[in-house]
Amino acid sequence: MRADRIRLLNFKCYGNADLSLDRGVTVVHGVNGSGKSTLLEAVFFALYGSKALDDRTLDDVITTGEDEAEIELWFTHDNREYRVERRLKLRGDRATTTKCVLETPADTIEGARDVRRTITELLRMDAEAFVNCAYVRQGEVNKLIHASPSDRQDMIDDLLQLGALEEYRERASEARLGVKTVLDGQRDVLDDVRSQVEQKEAQDLHDTLNALETERDELVDELEHYETQREQAVDTLETAQDVLDRHQETREEIETLTEAIDSLQSKISETERQRETAQNEIRDRKETREELAEERDDLLAELDRDIDPAGDADNDETIKSHIADLEARDEELQDELADVRASIQTKTEEEERLREAAADLDAQAADAREDAAEFSERLDDDESEIEAREEKLADLEDEIESLRARFADGEATGDSGSDNDGDSDNDDAVAFGETQARLAELETEREDVVADRNDITADIKAVDNAIEEAETLLEAGKCPECGQPVENSPHVDVLDEKREERAELAERRDELETERAELDARLEDLEALREAERRVERLEDNRDNVAQLLAEKRAAVDERRDQRDALREEADDLESEAKSKREAADNLESEIDEIRVTLGEINGERSALKETIQTLERVLEIADERAELAREIETRRERRADWQEMNDERRETLSTKRDRKRDLDSEFDEDRVQTAREDKQNAEGYIDQVDEKLDELEAERDDLQGKIGGVEEKLDELERLRDRLDTVEQRCETLESLYGEAETLQTTYGELRSELRQRNVETLERLLNETFELVYQNDSYAGIDLDGDYQLTVYQKDGESLDPEQLSGGERALFNLSLRCAIYRLLAEGVEGAAPMPPLILDEPTVFLDSGHVTQLVSLVESMRDLGVEQIVVVSHDRELVGAADSLVRVEKDATSNRSQLERGEPPETALLAAE
């Protein structure tokens, strides 16, 4: 087997680690406590699980503070690849395996037990064998030497698979002992059964049986005799009993008869009483009938109708037809009544309607009159308004006339110009409608005058200026015309001319002023006329409007007057209509009163009818009651006749029964009864005695029968015992031969083991000597002796022998390693040819060794490799060993996380290590 790769998660001091391993020698190195041993333990744990933990538990395996751990190991064995995986989980403070899987090339095995079993079969080693052979744990170098010879024997035997033979031998021995125990037991049984048979045979059982049977036959004869006697006694007893029974029956019949006679008599008198009661009831009913007849006669007399009081069926019919007639009449009356009521209803309604209509009409008439009055009032108003308007119209006409008179053609109105005031000029007389044109003419004229006047005013101003200048010049002595000195000036006269011109101009201006004033006055008059003209126009408009309104008003007044008259007429009509309706209503009222009288009459007749009908019905009722009474009387009569008949029959029965009783009384014989009683008593006495005797004899017979049964049973048992004896004898023989076989088997296994062991011991001794010589080249020791019980003895050169315990520490270590390697080789070479082996694992093998011996150890390791050990893993920090490694693994603990780490190093590291 070869470990190829191991992966760890939270396994003890490892956090996350993954390491691949090679064939050949691998040296694991690192400082103390870095996790070297733990790595080896992990390989061991991966293979065997909790069995690899000795006395520790699963929770020790999980890194402190974590709650899950994983271990995975890939390995090759016999050229096949395998992978084992385990997962642990902390639940509370206990760890459990949550996954355990082994993948083999063929299949996958699950579960810790099955995985361990498969691995044990595969490696042909259990966990214990693994540590004894392949895995030399730290500090266990002396294990094999310290062990007692028998422990060592067991260890080595187990490794060599000889343990099984010892087991078989022990099993054979156990089987032999087991057979022995059974055989001893069976022999005891055999003795016991045999003595029982002998005892039983000595008892003469057949003779005893014959004697008992004879005795029993005699007893049976005697029993039969007594039984015959008993039967006779029983006959006698039965006959006597018959007589007594008959006597008893007769007596009972007489008693029954007496009872029957008594009961019949009482029934007869009871029925007689009933007959009498019925008679009384008949009498009562007859009386009631007569009373009813009287009542009926009274009623009929009261009615005074043609009905025969004697009353029979025909009479009833007559009454019924009377009632029918009366009811028919009542129905007629009822119809009439309904008609009358309906007509009252209709008429009352009609009356109400009429009165309502009349009231309505009156109201309408009142409304019409009111409207007419309103119209009249408004007509008065209208007329006074018309009057006012007419007045206004006349005023307007007057004003217009007077205004028109002021115009030229105004004289046409008749009033002459004498009325004209003196102011008005005839030249200015203007016709109506021409003022406008005239005003325009005068306006133009005035403008011309004003313009002339303004021109003259300007001229005056110019003349004034010239005068003023000339005067100034003149004062200065200058010519007013040319400005030259006045002396000699021809122009001095000019000033006067100018003054003249000015006076002329002023005169002219005054004329123009006057002319303008005249024009202004004429203009004013004309304006006034113009004003009058406009006013006339307005007044005429006004007059026309007033005239039109007046005309309209008149038309409206006429219409309104017509309407008022119409309303008045309408009111008259409505009133007369109301009156006629009211009259109609009054007529209806008196009609209704008359009808009410008829209603009263009908009701009166109806109540009289009802009374008569009731009386007649009562008469019919009485007839019914009387008939019912007659029927009752008849029933009672019939019943009385029946009872009579019944009693006659009873009386007949009574006499028969009395006869029978008399016969039975005479039949009764007291002597015969007495004899029967005595016979019975005697027979009973005898039977009692004989029964006692029979009981005795039967008990005796049963006893004998029991004894016979007992003897027969003993004979059967004897037969069975003989059979049993045969069986047990046979079984003992079989067991004896089985015991012999087990004994042979036990010796065979024992011999086989010591033979095999002897062969192995010889090989082992040779291998041990070879190895020891290789690692301990020393002159002191001549060789090692290993005997059949694995007793080890070391011989010194001088021939003295030594117990291995007496060797030095280092020597012991080397000796032990030699023994381990020898065993490993023995196993590897195999008893039956080479077998694949687990890696050889050595944890700190050099502790006790000096450097010289380390060299020897190195050669041991190398020789093992050369001998074909596939993989050797050594934990050591010895430089020499490191130097001999094919590959290196360095283990280091991270100072901060406190987790171990694995690192592959190649041999060049040797140089580094050597340099340290």
CB atoms within 10 A of CB 555: 10
Instruction: Decide: is 478 part of the binding site for Zn ion (CB under 5 A).
Output: no
How is residue 11 annotated by DSSP?
A: B
Q: Which residues are bridge partners to 901 per DSSP? A: 892
Residue 138 annotated as lining a ligand binding site: yes
Query: Per residue in 93-130, is it b (16+ CB within 10 Å) or e — as a string?
Result: eebeeeebbbeeeeeebeebeebbebbbebbebbbebb
Instruction: Decide: is 812 part of the binding site for ligand ATP (CB under 6 A).
Output: no
End-to-end CA distance of the chain: 35
Would you call 259 helix, strand, or coil by DSSP?
A: helix
Instruction: Decide: is 26 part of the binding site for ligand ATP (CB under 6 A).
Output: no
Among ligand ATP, Zn ion, none, the one that 820 touches (CB under a kind-dependent 5 to 8 A) is none
Asked if 880 and 854 touch (Cβ cutoff 8 Å), the reply is: yes
Instruction: Decide: is 49 part of the binding site for ligand ATP (CB under 6 A).
Output: no
How is residue 800 annotated by DSSP?
A: -
Q: Closer CB to ligand ATP, residue 60 or residue 191?
A: 60
Q: Closer CB to Zn ion, residue 479 or residue 822?
A: 479
Instruction: Decide: is 64 part of the binding site for ligand ATP (CB under 6 A).
Output: yes
Stretch 114-143 residues interacting with ligand ATP (CB under 6 A):
138
CB atoms within 10 A of CB 819: 25
Q: Closer CB to ligand ATP, residue 26 or residue 38?
A: 38
Instruction: Decide: is 6 part of the binding site for Zn ion (CB under 5 A).
Output: no
Q: Closer CB to ligand ATP, residue 36 or residue 626?
A: 36
Mention every residue, 6+ apart, whose C-beta is less than 8 A from residue 58. Answer: 50, 88, 94, 95, 96, 97
Asked if 471 and 479 touch (Cβ cutoff 8 Å), the reply is: no
Instruction: Decide: is 771 part of the binding site for ligand ATP (CB under 6 A).
Output: no
Residue 34 annotated as lining a ligand binding site: yes
Token pair, residue 660, equals: 């029978």
Question: Residue 491 CB, nearest distance to Zn ion (Å)?
Answer: 6
Question: In whole angstroms, what is the distance from residue 189 CA to residue 548 CA?
Answer: 178
Question: Residue 129 CB, nearest distance to ligand ATP (Å)?
Answer: 23
Q: Closer CB to ligand ATP, residue 622 or residue 889?
A: 889
Q: Closer CB to ligand ATP, residue 40 or residue 393?
A: 40
Q: Closer CB to ligand ATP, residue 35 or residue 410?
A: 35
Among ligand ATP, Zn ion, none, the one that 509 touches (CB under a kind-dependent 5 to 8 A) is none
Asked if 784 and 792 touch (Cβ cutoff 8 Å), the reply is: yes
Among Zn ion, ligand ATP, none, the one that 482 touches (CB under a kind-dependent 5 to 8 A) is Zn ion
Q: Which stretch binds ligand ATP (CB under 6 A): 35-43, 46-54, 239-247, 665-673?
A: 35-43
Best CA proximity match to 892, nearest among 7, 17, 6: 17
Among ligand ATP, Zn ion, none, the one that 771 touches (CB under a kind-dependent 5 to 8 A) is none
Best CA proximity match to 25, nearest among 788, 859, 750: 859
Instruction: Decide: is 30 part of the binding site for ligand ATP (CB under 6 A).
Output: yes
Among ligand ATP, Zn ion, none, the one that 644 touches (CB under a kind-dependent 5 to 8 A) is none
Mention every residue, 6+ apart, whose C-beta is less than 8 A from residue 234. Answer: 683, 687
Instruction: Decide: is 13 part of the binding site for ligand ATP (CB under 6 A).
Output: yes
User: What is the residue type of 789?
Assistant: D
How is residue 432 annotated by DSSP?
A: T
Asked if 3 and 21 touch (Cβ cutoff 8 Å), the reply is: yes
Q: What are phi and psi of 350, to 5 degrees?
A: -60, -45
Question: Residue 179 CB, nearest distance to ligand ATP (Å)?
Answer: 53
Among the listed residues 3, 8, 34, 887, the single contact to ligand ATP using CB under 6 A: 34
How is residue 485 annotated by DSSP?
A: B
Q: Give strand ranges (E) for 512-584.
A: none
Q: Which stretch binds ligand ATP (CB under 6 A): 36-44, 361-369, 386-394, 666-674?
A: 36-44
What string marks each residue from 845 to 884 as x (binds ligand ATP by CB under 6 A) or -?
Answer: ----------------------------------------
Among the listed residues 73, 479, 519, 704, the single contact to Zn ion using CB under 5 A: 479
Would you call 13 helix, strand, or coil by DSSP?
A: coil
Residue 37 annotated as lining a ligand binding site: yes
Q: Closer CB to ligand ATP, residue 88 or residue 193?
A: 88
How is residue 907 annotated by DSSP?
A: T
Among ligand ATP, Zn ion, none, the one that 26 touches (CB under a kind-dependent 5 to 8 A) is none
Among ligand ATP, Zn ion, none, the one that 35 touches (CB under a kind-dependent 5 to 8 A) is ligand ATP
Residue 714 annotated as lining a ligand binding site: no
Q: Closer CB to Zn ion, residue 481 or residue 773?
A: 481
Exposed / middle / buried, residue 183 (Cβ in 10 Å: 0-12, 13-18, 19+): middle
Instruction: Decide: is 278 part of the binding site for Zn ion (CB under 5 A).
Output: no
- # of chain residues touching ligand ATP (CB under 6 A): 15
Q: Tokens 């007045």 correspond to what residue?
A: 391
Asked if 159 and 760 touch (Cβ cutoff 8 Å), the reply is: no
CA 472 to each of CA 253, 480, 495, 502: distance values in angstroms, whole numbers, following the listed order: 219, 8, 11, 18
Mention every residue, 6+ apart, whose C-beta is less than 8 A from residue 616. Answer: 303, 319, 322, 323, 326
Asked if 249 and 667 touch (Cβ cutoff 8 Å), the reply is: no
Q: Which stretch binds ligand ATP (CB under 6 A): 59-67, 413-421, 490-498, 540-548?
A: 59-67
If DSSP states are collapsed to H, E and C, what string results for 119-179? HHHHHCCCHHHHHHHCEECCCCCCHHHHCCHHHHHHHHHHHCCCHHHHHHHHHHHHHHHHH
Among ligand ATP, Zn ion, none, the one that 36 touches (CB under a kind-dependent 5 to 8 A) is ligand ATP
Among the listed residues 3, 35, 136, 156, the single contact to ligand ATP using CB under 6 A: 35
Question: Residue 478 CB, nearest distance to Zn ion (Å)?
Answer: 8
Stretch 481-540 residues interacting with Zn ion (CB under 5 A):
482, 484
CA 142 to each of CA 104, 476, 808, 816: distance values in angstroms, whole numbers, following the listed order: 36, 186, 11, 6
Question: In whole angstroms, what is the distance from residue 578 CA to residue 571 CA?
Answer: 11
Q: Closer CB to Zn ion, residue 301 or residue 476?
A: 476
Q: Give strand ranges (E) for 686-788.
A: 781-786
Helices 670-775 + 205-303 axis angle, to 10:
120
Q: Closer CB to ligand ATP, residue 38 or residue 647?
A: 38
Token pair, residue 3, equals: 């470990």
Q: Closer CB to ligand ATP, residue 123 or residue 902?
A: 902
Question: Residue 808 CB, nearest distance to ligand ATP (Å)?
Answer: 23
Instruction: Decide: is 36 part of the binding site for ligand ATP (CB under 6 A).
Output: yes
Among Zn ion, ligand ATP, none, the one that 348 touches (CB under a kind-dependent 5 to 8 A) is none
Among the listed residues 16, 22, 33, 476, the single contact to ligand ATP using CB under 6 A: 33
Q: Which residues are bridge partners to 99 per DSSP? A: 87
Question: Residue 492 CB, nearest distance to Zn ion (Å)?
Answer: 10
Instruction: Decide: is 38 part of the binding site for ligand ATP (CB under 6 A).
Output: yes
Instruction: Decide: is 37 part of the binding site for ligand ATP (CB under 6 A).
Output: yes
Instruction: Decide: is 311 part of the binding site for ligand ATP (CB under 6 A).
Output: no
Q: Closer CB to ligand ATP, residue 843 or residue 870?
A: 843
Instruction: Decide: is 887 part of the binding site for ligand ATP (CB under 6 A).
Output: no
Question: Residue 501 CB, nearest distance to Zn ion (Å)?
Answer: 20
Instruction: Give the strand order in the sheet containing 871-875.
Output: 135-136, 840-843, 871-875, 24-29, 887-893, 900-905
Q: Closer CB to Zn ion, residue 482 or residue 912?
A: 482
Mention every residue, 6+ apart, whose C-beta is less than 8 A from residue 292. Answer: 622, 625, 626, 629
Instruction: Decide: is 12 part of the binding site for ligand ATP (CB under 6 A).
Output: yes
Question: In whole angstroms, what is the distance from residue 681 CA to residue 667 CA?
Answer: 25
Task: List contacts with Zn ion (CB under 5 A).
Answer: 479, 482, 484
Annotated binding site for Zn(2+): 479, 482
Instruction: Write out the residues near ligand ATP by the rule CB under 6 A.
Output: 12-13, 30, 32-38, 60, 63-64, 138, 891
Binding residues: 12, 32-38, 138, 479, 482
Residues at the binding site for ATP are 12, 32-38, 138
